Amino acid sequence: MSIFYTEEHEWIAVEGGSATVGITDYAQAQLGDIVFVELPASGRELSKGGDAAVVESVKAASDVYSPVTGQVTEANSALEEDPSLVNSAPEGDGWFFKLTLADPAELEGLMDAAQYKAFCDGL
């Protein structure tokens, strides 16, 4: 499995032709306590950089963007009942959705863990 990061603070874990997407620990820390998550429906086509989900915290609402183009295969229904999973396990059980990759070449523009850490350190 390979994990990549975006400048908008999403992570994508890729295994074969499918991927799991969520927001990073940095993003959840900036948002504060997550109180609501709106997830994409299964079967929805997402475009790279396009709106995919919404996360609301006590501070603000924020869009979550799709790191790549693909079709949603599953949304994390656990977040509907317990949105705080995004705070407690943002890069684990707090994932947002899974999708099939339309074009694996789109991963080439994303950051690896070291690049993402350097990016965050510069913010």
**Which CATH number characterizes residue 48's domain?**
2.40.50.100
Q: Bridge partners of 69?
A: none
Buried-state track 48-81, b at ≥16 Cβ within 10 A, e below 16 = beeebbebebeeeebebbbbbbbbbeebbeebee
Residue 43 confidence class, pLDDT cut points 50, 70, 90 = very high
Residue 67 confidence class, pLDDT cut points 50, 70, 90 = very high
- 118 domain residue, yes or no: no
Number of domains present in the structure of the chain:
1
Token pair, residue 83, equals 């949105």
Span 58-78, average pLDDT: 96
The domain containing residue 88 runs over which residues?
2-104
Give CA–CA dist 11/8, Å, rounded: 9
Confidence (pLDDT) at 32: 95
- 45 domain residue, yes or no: yes
- 50 domain residue, yes or no: yes
Confidence (pLDDT) at 76: 98
Cα dist. 47→43, 72, 79 in Å? 13, 11, 23
Confidence (pLDDT) at 92: 97
What is the DSSP-derived secondary structure letter of residue 68? S
- 123 domain residue, yes or no: no
pTM of the model: 0.97
What is the DSSP-derived secondary structure letter of residue 102? S
Confidence (pLDDT) at 48: 97
Confidence (pLDDT) at 50: 97
Give CA–CA dist 9/5, Å, rounded: 7
- 117 domain residue, yes or no: no
